[in-house]
Structure 1
Amino acid sequence: MNLQGIVAVSGKPGLWKALAQNKNGYVLESLDAQKTKLVANLSTAKLAALSEITIFGVDDDIKLTDVFEQMKNATSIPDAKADGKKLREFFFEVAPDHDEEKVYASDMKKIISWYQLLKDLPLFNEPDPTVAPAEAEEPTAVETPVAVEETAEKAPAEAPKPKTKKTTKKAE
């Protein structure tokens, strides 16, 4: 999923898309139906990129993008206004090793409401541009085997010689 440029702003509900940056801060647009514009001042507002957010885990922190991937595969997602017990049960499905003491019900509600905003957007189903696809790592062309005699007959390629600037000295 491509969450590049999607941020959460402290003190503001919902999610925002970074459109541009000026000398005072960032120009943001809300992801809800109203498409509200906002200039977030860097000195007063705290921005958190969704692609960088993690959730407290028992052993290691869990990336929010991994939780969203698990939520895609979940059978039913509770309402963000559901009680804490239902949210906790759901979170044990999508993030089984989250830390119960550090992940509060308010955090789970926020993550579920973010998921509800993002799931219908086309960027949610796009591949992440920062992660190289697995197919790119494997060679796609079929290499033909080269006989041993052919490689022995070929001379090793010489390294290109560096170009030097010719200078002429005048005879005095």
Structure 2
Amino acid sequence: MEFSEVAAVSGKGGLFKVVSPTRTGVILEALDGSKKKMIANMQSKVSILSDISIYTTDEEGAVPLEDVMQKIHQEFNGDTGLSATSDPDELKAFLKFVLPEYDESRVYVSDIKKLVTWYNTIAATLPELLEKKEAKDDSKEEQSSDK
């Protein structure tokens, strides 16, 4: 599975696996272990995680969510000790530690809460997503050295 197969739906808590597209939307399955399925139609705001970025103050202006989550995983290895109910100052300090160049005026505490919640969900249900980039790079190096 990849970040392009995981989605968030506005107004619905949690993350969803994209099962398949339909003529009028997409079929999603909850990642929380309940295996509940839902159909998100054209009016639903579905955000694919690979399309989400976090604003930064550097030249690029944003960092992909996947890169941020992989940095979090490298530092905390699945246990940030935070939740959506954590103190706002603690959440800001956490993101400042992981991504020092994040744009404090455009990234709100609610965004950091979502990041922490999504990271905790992915670390619990799909930890291979957080390590995949390194594994892909290693397998490419092995293939090129075999030739």
TM range (shorter): 0.7 to 0.9
Which residue of structure 2 aligns with residue 55 of structure 1? 54
Aligned mates of 1:120, 1:32 — CA distance in 2: 9
Aligned residues: 138
Percent of aligned pairs with the same residue?
33
Which residue of structure 2 aligns with residue 18 of structure 1? 18
Contact 1:14 1:31 in 2 (8 A): yes
Aligned mates of 1:136, 1:26 — CA distance in 2: 37
- List gaps (5 residues or longer) in structure 2: none
How far apart are 1:21 and its partner, in Å?
Answer: 1.4
1:135 to 124, 133, 141: 141
3-state SS of 1:81 partner: coil
Q: 1:102 to 1:137 in 2, by over 3 A?
A: farther
3-state SS of 2:3 partner: coil
Aligned mates of 1:30, 1:8 — CA distance in 2: 10
More strand by share: 2
TM-score (norm 1): 0.72
- Say which one has the larger Rg: 1
3-state SS of 2:116 partner: helix
Structure 1 residues 99-114: aligned runs within 5 Å: 99-114=103-118
- List gaps (5 residues or longer) in structure 1: 142-172
Deviating 4+ runs (over 6 angstroms): none
TM-score (norm 2): 0.83
* RMSD, aligned α-carbons: 2.1
